[in-house]
Amino acid sequence: MRIILLGPPGAGKGTQAKVLAQELGVAHISTGDILRQNVKEATQLGKEAKDFMDRGLLVPDGLMSKMLQDRFAKSDVKQGFILDGYPRNIAQAKTLEEIFRLKGLDVDLVVYLDSSDSVIIQRLSGRLVCSKCSANYHITNMPPLRQGFCDKCGGSLYQRTDDKVETIKKRLEVYKNEVSDLIKYYSEENKLHRLSADGQAEEVLKEIVVLTKQ
Ligand code: ADP
Ligand code: ZN
């Protein structure tokens, strides 16, 4: 199964992708997670990307293409994948198409998780992320059992530097500028399914699972 998840920041792409990848036995490719790992390790890519990320802007397409090519060179993608956070504009969609063409891959499903601005801001401004396994929590909606620590792996939880209200608004603006083109692009291939992601994570997951079985 090869799935692309589209949707605004805070729609729950990461949360859904992690569970789905495990259930389907496929790779979870989160460009945000890969970038944050690079920032943490202070790699060349991390150094170049950090400032864009902190400002809520897209990391330049050239850097992203290189990153995606490296990721798709790994053998686990042969089992299938869930792509979370890429593509974010038409140039990236075309890069992806080219990577797929070279590898003889095709997408089975594009799920567009839509969410309202108020839900997004509420979710992201209270989000906590595990520094070890990148599991997500929320200060009030989904608090960890032990304050400050991950239920799954015991890692310490932190707030992302781009989860400040001002930066969230910027990320939303950047997202809205690009998304309609992407939706059009994937609609033409008849692979796009839109779901509302404002509800409970478990409910949204059920709806995605139904789509994977069609
Ligand atoms: P969100 O979608 O919630 O904003 P992500 O973790 O997916 O969070 O991404 C965080 C940041 O990483 C983005 O704001 C952007 O700077 C960068 N990023 C992630 N994916 C891409 C991409 N495909 N193209 C450009 N920048 C990206
Ligand atoms: Zn953890």
**Interval 127-145 mean pLDDT:** 94
Report the number of distinct structural domains present in the chain. Answer: 1
In a domain, 165, yes or no: no
Span from the CA of 79 to the centroid of ligand 1 (angstroms): 24
Is the model's pLDDT at 214 over the cut of 90? no
Span from the CA of 15 to the centroid of ligand 2 (angstroms): 13
Tell me what the pLDDT averaged over the chain comes to: 95
Domain limits for position 207: 2-116+176-212
pLDDT tens-digit readout, 56-103: 999 999 999 999 999 999 999 999 999 999 999 999 999 999 999 999
**Interval 128-140 mean pLDDT:** 93
In a domain, 88, yes or no: yes
In a domain, 97, yes or no: yes
- Per-residue confidence band for 190, with pLDDT thresholds at 50, 70 and 90: confident
- How far are the Cα atoms of 24, 41, 67, 95, 130 from residue 64, in angstroms, in the given order? 26, 17, 5, 10, 24
Query: CATH code at 75?
Result: 3.40.50.300
3-state helix, strand, coil split of the chain in percent (to 5) is 50, 15, 35
CB 88 within 8 Å of CB 112: no
**Interval 201-209 mean pLDDT:** 95
In a domain, 139, yes or no: no
Q: What is the pLDDT of residue 189?
A: 80
In a domain, 155, yes or no: no
pLDDT tens-digit readout, 156-166: 999 999 999 99
In a domain, 124, yes or no: no
In a domain, 137, yes or no: no
